[in-house]
Chain A
Amino acid sequence: MSVIFLPVLWALGGVLQPAMNLAVWQALCQEPQVFGALRHTLISALGSTVLALLLAISSVIALYPSRIWQWLTRRLAVLLAFPHAAFAVGLSFLIAPTGFIARLLAPLLEWTNPPLWLTPQDPYALSLMLALALKESWFLLWVLAAALQQQHILRALHVAQSLGYGRLQIWLQVLLPQVLPRLAGALAAVLAYSVSVVDMAVILAPSTPPPLAVLGWQWLHDNDPHYYALGSAVSVLLMLIMVGISLMGWLGYKLLVLLNQTPSGQRWRTFPLPFKATGIVSLVVLSGWLALLLLALWSVAEQWFFPDLLPQRWTLKAWWQFDGSLLGNTLLLGAASSVIAVIVTLIWLEAFPQLSSEWWYGALCLPAVPLVVAQYTVVIRFGLESTYVALVWSHLWWVLPYVLLVLAGAYRSFDTRFEIAARALGYARWQVFWRVKLPMLGRPISAAVAVGFAVSVAQYLPTVMLGAGRITTMTTEAVALSAGGNRRTLAVYALGQALLPWLVFMLMSSLAFWQARNRRGLK
């Protein structure tokens, strides 16, 4: 643990040190791009986090625990495994003026040239906000689904229903107060990601100026020490934004709790939900599937110009030119970091069952932009740059907390009476762990491996920085190709990047199923 986190924290001091100077901040304030960049960051980060939460919660309110909800949560894995950059590419194939929506409209409105739309890269960073919100709402839905699997939630729902409360009132007064605190860590991670996102922003955000994270990343790469110092100051600013918004969210939550402290017990007038529930869910889920479909189409399109709905000529050329070594690297890094992360997490949870794991989310709450530079300094010091060891180590910074996020909930809600019973029957502690706990937690553990793998596959900044370009993955290739303008090749890599984690999800869930084949209670 300390091997993963402490050296980086120490090196982070070095990266941020140039920012500890008032003159740098004055220079930052005079930099013409900063205020626009700040505006883009605030809109996209705050907007996407709030919107993702709203999308996830309204889906839950509308659907839980219906059959559609079961169906939806079982299929979330595909969307969850969809890497950010790939989704951004797919979404831009959808909403751009030459995208699929415009092509659908073209014959109706008799367009021969693409419309003068502002998406993507619109001046208010709304495309980025929407993309982040959709992408993160899947993650929140998934965390919610895990939290809702506890029996007492369903019981509470039934009790409240039999007492005559309406659906909306039950959720707002009974269920959400129980569920929301468990969402806090996930929300903070979502926020941190949106604040410091670079790969998605390059594709979807405006460039005059770009959001703060992109600006900081550019400056940290500048040869001029003046701009490097500014980049360092931007990193600090990103952290302040992160802390500020989190604090606001926390206060808002406390306020809600305070206002609802003494519910009157009066039944609200029940009314049909103000939105078509299925509409929201289809927006959330459909966007992901459409993006995947467009990537698949582009990957085999030889000539596909506006306003054609389908390619004029098809080709498998881009698939034949696919570089297999990238697949190997991606698999190796993902497998190594997710398995290590799960083992470390299990040991950690077993060794410190009482310790709160909340502070772990701190790792996810640090913006990636200065962190990666700090990791690089550490790696250089040990002469390990562009080695697999260094890359696995750097990925663990993000993989480990996500794995913990997935496992800790299931682990802590594990009924300790099983443990006590097993101990009473004469099992040693490790035997209890090995023969009782591990099999019973098979499903969350395999899910954790899959999530860890997906997180590792999606890592762009650390891979590109520490891999020194010598170890490349599907993700670094996809982002490099997004600068190349060939949509066919780009689509192949984005699709490959999305399919790989999905396959691992499938593999892990069938593994969990297989492991539970003759354990009736676990099915």
Chain B
Amino acid sequence: MNIKRAGLACLMGLWLTTAVQAEDWASIESKAKGQTVYFNAWGGGESINRYLDWAAQETQKRYGVTLKHVKITDAAEVVKRIKTELDAGRNTDGTVDLIWVNGENFKALKQANALYGNWVESLPNWQYVDVAKPVRQDFSESTDNLEAPWGTAQLTFMADQAKVPTPPRSAAEWLSFAKAHPGRVTYPKPPAFHGTTFLKQLLTELTPDPKVLQQPVDSARWAEQTKPLWDYLDEFHPVAWREGKTFPATQADMIPLLADGELLLALTFNPNEAANLIESGQLPDSSYSFGFSKGTIGNVHFLAIPSNAKAKEGAQVVANFLLSPEAQARKADVTVWGDPSVLDISKLTPEQQAMMTSQAKGALTEKIPTLPEPHASWVEALEAEWLKRYGSQ
């Protein structure tokens, strides 16, 4: 009886909150009408830029919200901007309404109390999100309803079939591949996002007990836990591109080098990127994607609203639209962008499912296990140590 009543109360409560939410959402939508949302998102990818152009047209048409894509090169610069504004006393009318973020940049904003909160799970389209994916954890840091998941990513490697018929399938094979092809293998320079991820990938494979990576860094055991990584890099760098004396600034810098054969391997966080690049003529048709057999690091990327945002309602409407099955299916379509969805695929229509599972030439076809991101504190520690050891040569 008690249980039943409790259940009923629960149901009532649920109904009430949904009703209240619906009402809230209607008022958010009406406030959002006419607002301009400045969405600060990395602007280096043409397919991403085109996708956001489409999203801007749709939000204008459907909700009267003007979406402006502010093309940035590094989210850390935006984090700095938001903090500069808050330090200067601008607690309203900030210049950033929505930001594409994850990992240490999210952590920095969260710690600075610079984020608007308590909005994510009340978005109407939250119901489609696959909560089995790590959408409430960002590099082992709890998202606390401060950022909405937008897409998933997995570290993926690219090569040209004509030059690399059998790719390396583990950190050890990577090293022997580099030794067999001196000067043709490298990775982006940490703290570039992909470079740091590559370090984390190597560390996950090389450290004796990968479970410790889920905990904050323990400085007492740091040396012993990371020694295999530095030994590996000391062996790798002498045979790396430019003898490891300089590194590509970003992952994108590696693409033209891969296309021309100056590099034989490149990496990406998007399993569909190679397909995209073949499509646009930036990689030879014989390019393909592959992963390590024991798995590669995967994570989720998010959307957050700064606490001093001017168009908070508009930003929520945009985030909600970007989470809609329609927008997510389009985003996952390899001919558009190819960024894997955060939604539960079983909750979608068959057409949307088809868009999400379509395959294109060059995309990752094999199933690669997903390894968890280490705790956010490892990012800074690894980057600092890397810079100390290899930052000046």
- Indicate, yes or no, whether A interacts with B: yes
A313 at the interface (CB under 8 A from B): yes
Partner of B387, one of A32, A121, A386, A468: A32
- Residues in B with CB closer than 8 Å to A37 are 392
Residue B348 lies at the interface, judged by CB distance under 8 Å to chain A: no
Please give the distance in Å from A16's CB to the nearest CB on chain B: 16
A313 CB → nearest B CB, Å: 7
Would you call B25 an interface residue if the criterion is a C-beta within 8 Å of the partner chain's C-beta atoms? Answer: no
Q: Which residue of B lies closest to A479 (CB)?
A: B73
Q: Which of A97, A98, A206 lies in contact with B246, CB distance below 8 A?
A: A206
Q: What residues of B have a CB within 8 angstroms of the CB of A123 in the complex?
A: 242, 245-246, 393
In whole angstroms, how far apart are the Cα atoms of A126 and B245 in the complex? 15
State whether the Cβ of B178 lies closer than 8 Å to any Cβ in chain A: no
B261 adjacent to A223 (CB under 8 Å): no
Question: A223 to B83, Cβ gap below 8 A?
Answer: yes
Chain A residues closer than 8 Å to B90, beta-carbon distance: 380
B253 touches A468 (CB 8 A): no
Q: Which of B50-90 contact A (CB under 8 A)?
A: 68, 70-74, 76-77, 79-81, 83-85, 88, 90
Q: Which of B133-141, B277-285, B360-368 contacts A (4 or more CB under 8 A)?
A: B277-285
CB-defined interface of A219-251 with B at 8 Å, one 1/0 digit per residue? Answer: 001110000000000000000000000000000
Which A residues, 89 to 127, have Cβ-Cβ distances below 8 Å to chain B? Answer: 97-98, 112-114, 116, 118, 121, 123
Ranked nearest first, the 7 interchain pairs of A and B with the lowest CB-CB distance are A484-B44, A485-B252, A469-B70, A306-B260, A36-B392, A98-B260, A485-B255
Interface flags for A115-149 (1: CB within 8 Å of B; 0: not) read 01010010100000000000000000000000000
Other-chain residue from B40, B46, B84, B189 in contact with A484 (beta carbon distance below 8 A): B46
CB <8 Å contact, B261 and A305? yes
CB-CB under 8 A from A302, the residues of chain B are 281
Query: Within 8 Å CB of A488, what residues of B?
Result: 281-282
Give the shortest distance, in Å, between B43 (CB) and chain A (any CB): 5
- Tell me the complex Cα distance, A406–B84, Å: 37
Q: Tell me the bound Cα distance from A116 to B256 in angstroms.
A: 15
**Least distance between B7 CB and chain A CB atoms (Å):** 47
Q: Does B369 contact A (CB under 8 A)?
A: no
Docked pose: A348 CA to B73 CA in angstroms? 40
25 A/B residue pairs, CB under 8 Å, sorted by A: A37-B392, A114-B261, A123-B242, A206-B245, A208-B245, A208-B390, A223-B76, A223-B79, A306-B262, A377-B88, A380-B85, A381-B88, A385-B95, A469-B71, A469-B95, A470-B38, A470-B70, A480-B71, A480-B72, A483-B249, A484-B252, A485-B255, A486-B280, A488-B281, A489-B46
Q: Which residue of A lies closest to B77 (CB)?
A: A221
Q: What bracket does the count of chain A residues touching chain B fall in?
A: 35 or more
Residues of B within 8 A of A313 (CB): 281
A483 and B260 contact, CB distance less than 8 A = no
Interface residues of B toward A: which range?
35 or more
- Given A32-B387, A221-B77, A480-B43, decide whether A207 and B260 contact each other with a Cβ distance below 8 A: no
Cβ contact within 8 Å between B281 and A303: yes
Q: In the complex, which residues of chain A have a beta carbon less than 8 angstroms from the beta carbon of B281?
A: 302-303, 313, 315, 488
* B307 CB, nearest partner CB in chain A, Å: 16
Using A386-B95, A484-B46 as known contacts, say yes or no to A33 and B387 having CB atoms under 8 A apart: yes
> With a CB–CB cut-off of 8 A, which chain B residues contact A79?
none
A472 within 8 A of B: yes
Chain A residues positioned under 8 Å from B253 (CB to CB): 483, 485
Rounded to whole angstroms, the CA-CA distance of A469 and B390 in the bound complex is: 33
**Chain A nearest CB, measured from B248 CB (Å):** 8
Q: A207-B247, A468-B81 are in contact. Are A33 and B46 (CB under 8 A)?
A: no
Task: Please determine whether A222 and B392 come into contact, CB atoms closer than 8 angstroms.
Answer: no
Is B254 part of the contact surface with A, judged by Cβ < 8 Å?
yes
CB closest chain-A residue, reference B391: A33
Let me know if A472 and B71 touch, CB within 8 A. yes
B44 lies within 8 A of A483 (CB): yes
Q: Are B95 and A468 in contact, with the CB atoms below 8 A?
A: yes
Complex Cα spacing A467 to B228, Å: 45
Residues of B within 8 A of A221 (CB): 74, 76-77, 80
Residue of A nearest to B72 (CB): A469
* Those of A1-23 within 8 Å (CB) of chain B: none
Do A118 and B252 have beta carbons less than 8 Å apart?
no
Segment 108-142 of B: residues with Cβ below 8 Å from A? 108, 112
Q: B residues within 8 A CB of A118?
A: 242
14 more A-B residue pairs beyond the given contacts A221-B77, A223-B76, A483-B250, with a C-beta to C-beta distance below 8 A? A32-B388, A98-B256, A113-B184, A302-B281, A380-B84, A380-B90, A468-B70, A468-B95, A469-B71, A470-B70, A477-B71, A481-B44, A486-B46, A486-B282
The answer to whether A35 touches B76 (Cβ under 8 A) is no
CB closest chain-A residue, reference B39 = A469
CA distance A376 to B83 in the complex (A): 13
Docked-complex contact A483 and B252, CB < 8 angstroms: yes
- Please state if A202 and B79 are interface contacts (CB–CB under 8 Å): no
In the bound assembly, the distance between CA atoms of A377 and B79 in angstroms comes to: 16
Whether, in the assembled complex, A437 has its beta carbon less than 8 Å from a beta carbon of chain B, the answer is no
Alpha-carbon distance A36/B259, docked complex (angstroms)? 31
Say yes or no: A208 contacts B391, CB within 8 Å. yes
A409 within 8 Å of B by Cβ? Answer: no
Option from B70, B84, B184, B284 in Cβ contact (under 8 Å) with A305: B284
| Interface residues of chain A: helix, strand, loop or mixed (majority) | loop
Residues 296 to 328 of chain A near chain B (Cβ within 8 Å): 302-303, 305-306, 313, 315, 321
Contact B257 A98 (CB under 8 A): yes
Shortest beta-carbon distance from B191 to chain A in Å: 9
Considering the chains assembled together, what is the distance between the CA atoms of A305 and B283 in angstroms? 8
Contact of B262 (CB < 8 Å), options: A98, A376, A484: A98
Known: A313-B281, A315-B281, A483-B249. A470 touches B242 (CB 8 A): no
In the complex, chain B residues whose CB is within 8 Å of the CB of A35: 392
Query: In the complex, A36 Cα to B262 Cα: how many Å?
Result: 26
CA distance A257 to B56 in the complex (A): 65
Find out whether the CB atom of B387 lies under 8 angstroms from the CB atom of A207.
no
Per the bound structure, the CA–CA distance linking A487 and B85 in Å amounts to 35
A323 to B224, CA, bound (A): 52
Query: Distance in Å from the Cβ of B88 to the closest Cβ of chain A?
Result: 5
- Known interface pairs A33-B387, A223-B108, A385-B95. Does A208 touch B392 (Cβ–Cβ under 8 Å)? yes
User: In this complex, which of B38, B44, B255 has the most chain A Cβ atoms within 10 angstroms of its Cβ?
Assistant: B44
**Interface pair B255/A207, CB less than 8 Å apart:** no
Asked if B183 lies at the interface with its beta carbon under 8 angstroms from chain A, I say yes
Residue ID in chain B nearest A123 by CB atoms: B245
Q: Taking the nearest CB of chain B, how far is it from the CB of A34, in angstroms?
A: 8
Q: Which residues of B contact A381 (CB under 8 A)?
A: 88
A209 in the interface (beta carbon within 8 A): yes
In the bound complex, how far is the Cα of B93 from the Cα of A470, in angstroms? 14
Q: Does B45 contact A (CB under 8 A)?
A: yes
In the complex, A2→B84 CA distance in Å?
Answer: 25
Q: What is the bound-complex CA distance between A223 and B40, given in angstroms? A: 18
Q: In the complex the two chains form, what is the Cα distance from A386 to B246 in whole Å? A: 35
**In the assembly, what is the distance between CA of A191 and CA of B364, in Å?**
50
**Known contacts A114-B262, A223-B108, A313-B281: A470-B68 contact under CB 8 Å:** yes
A118: nearest residue on chain B (CB-CB)? B242
Q: Is the CB of A222 within 8 A of B80?
A: yes
Docked-complex contact A208 and B71, CB < 8 angstroms: no
State the Cβ distance, B238 to closest chain A Cβ, in Å. Answer: 13
Contacts of A33 in B (CB 8 A): 387, 391-392
Contacts known (A121-B246, A208-B245, A469-B72); A485 close to B44, Cβ less than 8 A: yes
A211-225 residues at the B interface, CB under 8 angstroms = 221-223
Of the candidates B68, B246, B255, the one having the most CB atoms from chain A within 10 angstroms of its own CB is B246
Docked CA distance A305–B257 (Å) = 10
Interface centre among A37, A380, A469, A479 (most CB of B within 10 A): A469
Which residues of chain A are near B282, meaning CB under 8 Å?
Answer: 485-488
Known: A386-B95, A469-B70, A480-B44. A116 touches B183 (CB 8 A): yes
By a CB distance below 8 angstroms, the chain B residues around A489 are: 46
